[in-house]
Chains A and B, each alone.
Chain A
């Protein structure tokens, strides 16, 4: 799986958009970008994933650059409960590529009042 690079930490004011970047310059054509978050010591929570088109769900939006070498997770109106570690992961969609899921160090997002 392609390696990802994320900033170790970011801050955001409550009510503002949080934009979390991720670099994945070695991503291959059939690899997806997944985002998870972990609040304190709870189990990681799936947020969103995409291949090359931008995606949006009730939690967040995912913007993937045209060359697919980087992406941005957007939390449109951050709340204090969005304070968490956010993980960007790149992986294949089928076979053993789906099974092997490697978490990096992620980005610690702190939302301030």
Chain B
């Protein structure tokens, strides 16, 4: 089944403890992206990648890192999480000219 898989689905962590949220797609999509969603602020793009080893900042990249070493994976790294990064995170993938497929989301709480 074609899908975008995020892990974990839920995560509670403490301030400053490095964490990685994984994202994997099995559709050979060139494009991958990360979004966060907060009440009243909607969906905001964090980073995106047009292909392997090519990444660009979205609208809210501060405090996040990404890497695209292989086409199927696009992990989101929080080196030193803070409470203001508590949010619902979505990964997406797609091909140029087509719609994106989104993952089911990762709900992150930083205490």
Q: Does A94 make an interface contact (CB < 8 A)?
A: yes
Q: Does A65 make an interface contact (CB < 8 A)?
A: no
- Of A44, A47, A100, most buried by chain B (CB within 10 Å of CB) is A44
Q: Does A49 make an interface contact (CB < 8 A)?
A: yes
* Contact flag A103-B42 (CB < 8 Å), given A36-B99, A43-B105, A46-B101: yes
Which of these, A34, A96, A106, contacts B42 with CB under 8 Å?
Answer: A106
Whether the pair B99, A46 counts as a contact (CB closer than 8 A) is yes
The number of chain B residues with a CB under 8 A from chain A is 28
* Contact flag A100-B48 (CB < 8 Å), given A34-B99, A36-B99, A43-B102: yes
Q: How far is the CA of A46 from the CA of B98 in the complex (A)?
A: 9
Q: What class of interface size applies to chain A in its complex with B? A: 20 to 34
CB distance from B110 to the nearest CB of A (A): 18
Residues of chain A contacted by B103 (CB below 8 angstroms): 43
Binary contact track A38-51/B, C-beta < 8 Å → 1, others 0: 10011111111100
Q: How far is the CA of A101 from the CA of B4 in the complex (A)?
A: 17
Whether the pair B45, A96 counts as a contact (CB closer than 8 A) is no
Whether the pair B45, A100 counts as a contact (CB closer than 8 A) is yes
Which of these, A44, A95, A100, A105, contacts B102 with CB under 8 Å?
Answer: A44
Residues of chain B contacted by A104 (CB below 8 angstroms): 42
Q: How far is the CA of A48 from the CA of B99 in the complex (A)?
A: 7
Q: Does B53 make an interface contact (CB < 8 A)?
A: no
Whether the pair A42, B105 counts as a contact (CB closer than 8 A) is yes
Which of these, B49, B88, B97, B100, contacts A101 with CB under 8 Å?
Answer: B100
Residues of chain B contacted by A95 (CB below 8 angstroms): 50
Residues of chain A contacted by B97 (CB below 8 angstroms): 93-94, 98
Give 3 closest A-B pairs by Cβ, nearest first: A46-B99, A43-B102, A103-B43
A residues at B contact (CB < 8 Å)? 34, 36, 38, 41-49, 93-96, 98-106
